[in-house]
Structure 1
């Protein structure tokens, strides 16, 4: 990796520390440095005087802080944000000559731990590779993990002792565990000092460069039936305006920044969202937020976003059909979408991005044509650039959609072909890969059998990319995907990991989906999902 210049890196005398942690983001530096989870974990581990945490990315085989090889650390910690990054995790270990299969590692090798949304979703496909999974939020688990690690005489020999900590899952033990989460995020640790990249080239420039990442909320109670984040991060929690201002003031003091990135599963649902926007602007800072709920947008919010220098406003209608949006528990009428488009035009918004899915239950050709229709109607009122991002629905565990089969290649290509004529000078359209979506579905719902299959073949293949690995496995990914959906009730995942969500609740939501019945959002109405007992 090319040398980058950074502010706020943590450098310690490694010889004087008791625990060395290698924090690995299994993708490019520019992507990893734009991930708030990486900053959280880096600062949380380094907040302990006798613990050192240094960073690795896909491009570097030596730590950025002290140029140590990965094998010299006691613990390798992967933060897994996307299933398709698993292959990069394998590459990082292989390039460092660390056995990928945990059964082939011994006390001379580091212990490998992993956390993140993919782990909370389903750790089983990686059970042959990871020693300890973190099922829950780092602010709760990391302190307990460090306390136990420092108390052990030989962490590599005695690591099975971690199985007694709620929220840690060890495949070697096969212990059942439960997701843990922060009840009040105001009281939780926050990385008010974040590493900023100051000197970079095109390959290393972070997506959010010269910006401070500010989480204002966590979890979402809307109950969109396809959204894994809306289930595994329940209940919705909001950081207070007082705490947010304190964090911003510390960020200004600790960084040379001019922009804040608002982070949250559904940031615009924050009850004080407008006040937060005004607060940031009053500090002389710009800001942006990745995506916004259509039903909260009004003149004030749009005005704040434009003053904050946001050029593209992103919304997610998910479908062109009113009926399908009701079915997925996102009952936003087309009339509201068109009214919002008029607001964008009235306020001279330069660019509008919209997310759509193909492969929803009961979806017809007419529903796909409805995407064309609403996009054309939007352009009657909106004169900026319209960007469409279209992807296959990927059913996830711990959602009502886990019983829905992944769309066939033939149907996906037929339906997305209908959308291609939309492309013009005023509309850009991006259509996601069917095969990568199918692979993500397999990795989301897979069991330990998939882990065994990968483990057996991963070194035999040349591991260039997922296509080469799947080709080596001679795996029909769609047939495998269908098998996982059919056998979801027998998936051992639900006997090992308790995410707090009641399976009976998910089945009831699936039934309500078939009838297109609406479930009120949490916390305004409790739907008895099980998380809050």
Structure 2
């Protein structure tokens, strides 16, 4: 049973909006984005937004029904969705197919599909024969303007598309011919916040129950591989007094007691972050923290974090290779310092989850062995402290707007060889959770695609999604989809397929300069 849902009489509603969250229900109630969308749309008295999710991530979906009124997807003239990463697209299509909604935008007469989210902002081209309208920007300052056009032109799809295409943050295939400028919230302190968050008495979110609190948006750092630091720039944080007010208001509606789940891409890195931790401890809260940024402020905050009930800290050093760090630009030249801080965390009594990346093109075996040597040192040190370390190991997946759009991905055989080395070196020493190499390649194929892939995705969805469904679809499309751009990358001097998307001028300049740095440190052929 859910609480904090919105109920409206359909007879008094001018337009109904379906929101498809292209994953499972428990993933939806874990994410904060659906709460923003639900709050923003349903504040319109004559608009009713209802939610749809996948029952499962693989196989054929049953006919989807809205959570609020058990309505069919075909009952909604407007469908919103947010693609948080590339593989979400097949779940969107699976739900459209199961709901009897035409998948291809060129054939869809009476319904409009609008998409936003990080995967859209990086490169909308792969989805451009499925989605009618792409929102390039943050929901608080974009969706209300789109809805105003919809309320005026909802009875005429072509007029709506023409009207909404005038917005500079909108991309409509076939109608948009100019540069698309990402729109973002200038001041988080004065922007809307969803304090009445949907919770379910019977279903627990992935990170546990708690009031979801977005502390800041964007990142103070600009790691060369990171998409999020590009699509959510510049760094903005809510003032402590605003955060305190949001928490106090949220407590009126939550069933989770005095527990908060913090959402932030870099934490703790400012005095506001420290003050927030102090306040939560003073007021008797417990908390779930995100991946933490290594630094002196984290070390100084360890006792506060322990008092909040956190027993395992998640850290993403990415690599213990100095050369890799010079390319990633995360902890450049600081490996000894990073190891010292990690040992300090273990000394303080925490378990650790480490996120590591392998498969940097041009990194030699010496660097790989150095990475493993330090990792083994940390794991052995943890055992002396009776602490547990788990490792999440992923191949490097190139994304648009990062240096790896030009460098490309290491080929599958080389990735498999490197993964085999990690597995053999860590076997019996540490629990390692491995991200599937082929799934990484699929992500890159979609993210970097220079053309629409709706036909492939539609077939993929018919085969039930998942990796096996992708393989079947690719076999049937044999020879029609080249993976060259995934592994070779794009030419540095040439215009990129998604070059018409302008996230911001600073990010573009920084990325180009970072690529020049990578070329000096890595040995790869172009």
The normalised TM-score by structure 1 is: 0.89
Taking only aligned residues, the RMSD between alpha carbons, in angstroms, comes to: 2.2
Deviation at 1:488, TM superposition (A): 8.5
Moved more, 471-480 or 278-287: 471-480
Aligned to 1:470: 474
- Alpha-carbon distance change, 426 to 457 in structure 1, aligned in 2, over 3 angstroms: closer
Whether the 8 Å contact between 2:460 and 2:470 is mirrored in structure 1 is no
SS in 2 for 1:317: strand
SS in 2 for 1:399: coil
SS in 1 for 2:306: helix
Aligned to 2:12: 16
Deviation at 1:447, TM superposition (A): 2.1
Whether the 8 Å contact between 2:81 and 2:115 is mirrored in structure 1 is yes
- Alpha-carbon distance change, 69 to 460 in structure 1, aligned in 2, over 3 angstroms: closer
Aligned to 1:75: 78
- Unpaired runs of 5+ residues, structure 2, are 56-62
Deviation at 1:30, TM superposition (A): 1.0
Deviation at 1:207, TM superposition (A): 0.3
How far does the alpha carbon of each residue in 1:359-393 deviate from its partner, in whole angstroms, 9 at most, with x for none? Answer: 22431112221222112221343231111111111
Aligned to 1:219: 218
SS in 1 for 2:325: helix
Match status 1:273 vs 2:277: no
- Alpha-carbon distance change, 32 to 455 in structure 1, aligned in 2, over 3 angstroms: closer
Match status 1:26 vs 2:12: no
User: Residues of 1 paired with 2:31 and 2:353: CA distance?
Assistant: 21
- 1:229-308 aligned at under 5 Å gives the runs 229-257=228-256, 258-308=258-308
Whether the 8 Å contact between 1:320 and 1:371 is mirrored in structure 2 is yes
- Alpha-carbon distance change, 403 to 307 in structure 1, aligned in 2, over 3 angstroms: same
User: Residues of 2 paired with 1:462 and 1:345: CA distance?
Assistant: 43
Match status 1:499 vs 2:515: no
Number of positions where the alignment pairs a residue of Structure 1 with one of Structure 2:
504
User: Residues of 2 paired with 1:193 and 1:456: CA distance?
Assistant: 36
Deviation at 1:504, TM superposition (A): 4.6
User: Residues of 1 paired with 2:503 and 2:147: CA distance?
Assistant: 23
Deviation at 1:348, TM superposition (A): 1.2
User: Residues of 2 paired with 1:455 and 1:421: CA distance?
Assistant: 36
User: Residues of 2 paired with 1:306 and 1:127: CA distance?
Assistant: 47
Whether the 8 Å contact between 1:462 and 1:468 is mirrored in structure 2 is no
Aligned to 2:456: 454
Aligned to 1:129: 130
Whether the 8 Å contact between 1:24 and 1:77 is mirrored in structure 2 is yes
User: Residues of 2 paired with 1:446 and 1:488: CA distance?
Assistant: 18
The normalised TM-score by structure 2 is: 0.90
Runs of 4+ deviating beyond 6 Å:
none
User: Residues of 2 paired with 1:287 and 1:443: CA distance?
Assistant: 35
User: Residues of 2 paired with 1:83 and 1:243: CA distance?
Assistant: 33
- Unpaired runs of 5+ residues, structure 1, are 518-533
Match status 1:435 vs 2:438: yes
SS in 1 for 2:404: helix
Whether the 8 Å contact between 2:356 and 2:393 is mirrored in structure 1 is yes
Moved more, 7-16 or 505-514: 505-514
SS in 2 for 1:302: helix
- Alpha-carbon distance change, 87 to 487 in structure 1, aligned in 2, over 3 angstroms: farther
Deviation at 1:468, TM superposition (A): 2.4
Whether the 8 Å contact between 1:114 and 1:134 is mirrored in structure 2 is yes
